[in-house]
Chains A and B, each alone.
Chain A
Amino acid sequence: MESNVTRTHIPGQPAAPDTGTLKGFLQFFWQELKPKGKILTPWNIITGIIILGGIVIIGIRLAKGLGAVTNLSQAYPWGIWIGFDVVTGVAFAGGAYILTFAVHILKVKKYEPIVRATVLNGFLAYVFYSGALLLDLGRPWNVVNPIIGNAFGYGSVLFLVAWHFLLYTLCLFVEVSPAIAEWLKWVKARRIIEKMTTATIILGVTLSTLHQAGLGALFLTAPSKIHPLWYSSNIPVLFFISSMFAGFSMIIIESMFTHKIFSNRLDERHRASHNKILLGLAKGSASVMAAYLFLKVIDLTHGHQLGLLLTPMGLWYLVEVAGFTLIPLVLYVVAYRQQNVRLVQGTAILTAIGVILNRLNISVIAFKWYEAARYYPSWMEIWVTLAVISMELWVFQWVINRMPILGASPDFKEEERTLDTFDDGEVVKWKGSV
């Protein structure tokens, strides 16, 4: 088949391989795989050591079982590999669905410059967290059972979460793929993908709604084990709502770093609108947090649990809800009124801590708070968690440095025109993006 990829020759550089053929694609991929810039930076050395150590620990875990590396016990079957990596990580990845909803469905063009980075972040988060989940499964090779259908547990919340999780990861891949197509200069492929955009995003928002809520619904089956201040039949709704401001705060934090580290990849439009975007996110966060706190107060008063607030667990509850949700809400409002971007960024960190506390409380800290021998993570559990995050950051960095994520998309006007003339007859009119 003849390749229709256009090769632009940059003077003084060797000709770029033609990615339209398999040979050219592999050649190009190999070329891109090599690191760009200095390899032995302090950051790379530290994360490299963490990743290597993590791989060793994972090896021990696979050879000797979960007991060899984790502090999990018969009383605490889930530790931080579930409570932090999966339950908290997925909440932070919520930025992708809420932002694609705003930009592609509600057409709020203001946030367009940050969509790609957020979606990429979400996609990588899902890929790496589901990887971390496999480590926690006792028999990971059976993970296909509920998918290939030899044992469908329809009545299980976890079944719902697994399916929605898997399908949403595929949606995120479709949402990321225009950047991949542009990187490979696959103009025709990009065109087809873009026509699927609206449908994919709508599917993605739907799937996210259910699996964000579903992660909370998992804990509905443990009413006698979770402290009454945290247990509520509203957990699914609370998880869904808080995934929105978790997502917002993660977008703000992520952009703080990407703007420092990858400033050479940014374009002018992106830079100019950035402050406005952050202030908008702060405002959005504040209103969602208000709704969340309102529900929390209803839970507290309807459950007649006010008396519990004066117990040690009650004070801990106040640290989470007042200290790291109510105060950030107030700070976001103040920051928005003063148009103070720095304050927005600081508040995003506080909000993120609040979300981490909330997810860890429900899954680990307030879970069986009455036991004498409590669970705390082993250093190896923490190390592996850091290794998973480091690996994700490496891939993120690799992609940002190669694909048009932060900056503007390359201009394929010429190719588009050729495609227009010769495709008119055959292009399927399933035009999703209107």
Chain B
Amino acid sequence: MGINRRNFLKAAGAAGGVLLAGGAKPAWSAQTQGSSMEFFGLLIDTTKCIGCRACEEACNAKWSLPKPEVPFSSESVFEMKRETTPEAYLVVNRFQNEKSPEKPIFVRKQCMHCTEPSCASACLCKAMEKMPEGPTVYHKDRCMGCRYCMISCPFDIPKFQYDSASPFVKKCIGCPDLVAKGNQTACAEACPTGATLFGKRRDLIEEAKKRIYQDPDRYYPHIYGEHEVGGTGYMYLSAVPFEKVSFRTDLGTKNYPGLTSGFLSSVPLVDILWPAVLFGFNYLISDKEEEDRKENGHGE
């Protein structure tokens, strides 16, 4: 049996079928909006933060989160470094200041709202999604609770409700309702010192550069989030190197969805080429077997 029309059609049909099936599958790279988009974001100037935790309180009220055991006015929470939790999307931590020990440094921590978020590209049911205005939001009705977003997030921001039989992933979602109407986020609104500044990302970068340029003694010359993991919507200024105040400075400037886009782009290729090659092998070997059988008379 050679490659006659029927066999050719069969192989072509199989390859085509896989191609069609492949159409319903992931392909190409992640769902990025393109970095030219004008996102809203925050500029967090840690040199201006006084640790009043007004932002924490505003966030708690805005999202009707359970009231913490220790009141927001208490400074006792600063004794230990805190992480965000399913009940607190935003926490302020206190760090020693090596430059001037009498003035501790306060750094707030929440979702960074990456320009190209790893969590959104990791999610297989689009529960995490980047809004055109900038916030990375969570659709709780879509989530299946696989926690791959937590594995993928370079900042360890998504938090899971382990104590619930019907759990959700919880994190700062950037007040999308307010931002969509052109208002600032609840935390920025509450900040009494201007340490949290709301605005268009591009304007915030300009502002940050201006501050560093005009007051080089006050700032460490780096905007955290301008380039980290491909850029983040929420960016920081600091008086000391960022690793001194618990930022990861080893994350690189490559966007995280890019880490898997190479692999994903090989998927359609493999899905189409592999069956074609394997069918080819199969015909080749079957032909040879048949010839061998003819030469040897009957059967094996």
Contacts and interface: CB of A to CB of B under 8 A. Distances in A.
Contacts of B154: 224
A213 interface: yes
Given A139-B143, A155-B264, A160-B25, A221 B151 contact: yes
A145 B260 contact: no
Nearest to A208: B274
Contact of B148 (A62, A210, A213, A218): A218
Interface centre among A101, A104, A152 (most CB of B within 10 A): A152
Contact of B256 (A104, A221, A434): A221
A55 to B, nearest CB: 17
B20 interface: no
Nearest to A237: B263
A217 to B, nearest CB: 4
A33 interface: no
Nearest to A219: B151
A160 B127 contact: no
Interface string A46-82: 0000000000000000111111101011110110000
B144 A142 contact: yes
A167 B250 CA distance: 39
A330 interface: no
A65 B25 contact: no
B165 A158 contact: no
B12 interface: no
B151 A78 contact: yes
Given A153-B123, A202-B279, A143 B144 contact: yes
11 contacts: A62-B165, A70-B162, A77-B150, A151-B125, A153-B125, A156-B124, A198-B282, A205-B278, A206-B274, A209-B270, A434-B1
Given A67-B163, A142-B145, 12 more contacts: A65-B161, A65-B163, A66-B160, A72-B160, A78-B147, A105-B285, A138-B143, A152-B24, A163-B24, A202-B14, A213-B263, A224-B250
B146 interface: yes
B147 A224 contact: no
B207 interface: no
Contact of B263 (A140, A220, A225): A220
B274 to A, nearest CB: 4
Contacts of B279: 202
A107 interface: yes
Contacts of B275: 202-203, 206
Contact of A137 (B29, B145, B278): B145
B83 interface: yes
Interface string B146-170: 1110111010100111111111110
Interface residues of B, number: 75
B30 interface: yes
Interface of B: 1, 6, 10, 14, 18, 21, 24-31, 83, 85, 118, 120-127, 139, 141-148, 150-152, 154, 156, 159-169, 248, 250-252, 256-257, 259-264, 267, 270-271, 274-275, 278-279, 281-283, 285-286, 289
A73 B256 CA distance: 23
Nearest to B31: A155
Contact of A205 (B10, B124, B274): B274
B142 A151 contact: yes
Contacts of B166: 139
Given A105-B282, A206-B275, A142 B263 contact: no
Given A157-B263, A157-B264, A145 B163 contact: no
A66 B123 contact: no
Contacts of B260: 157, 217, 220-221
Nearest to B26: A154
Contact of A160 (B151, B159, B264): B264
Interface centre among A107, A153, A213 (most CB of B within 10 A): A153
A151 B140 CA distance: 12
Contact of B121 (A137, A156, A163): A156
A217 B260 CA distance: 7
Contacts of A68: 163
Contact of A145 (B125, B165, B271, B281): B125
A41 interface: no
Given A139-B143, A221-B122, A223-B259, A210 B163 contact: no
Contact of B248 (A155, A157, A162, A224): A224
Nearest to B119: A221
Contacts of A106: 281, 285
Interface in A149-195: 149-160, 162-164, 167
A146 interface: yes
B85 A210 contact: no
A107 B31 contact: no
Contacts of A155: 26, 28-31, 120-121, 257, 261, 264
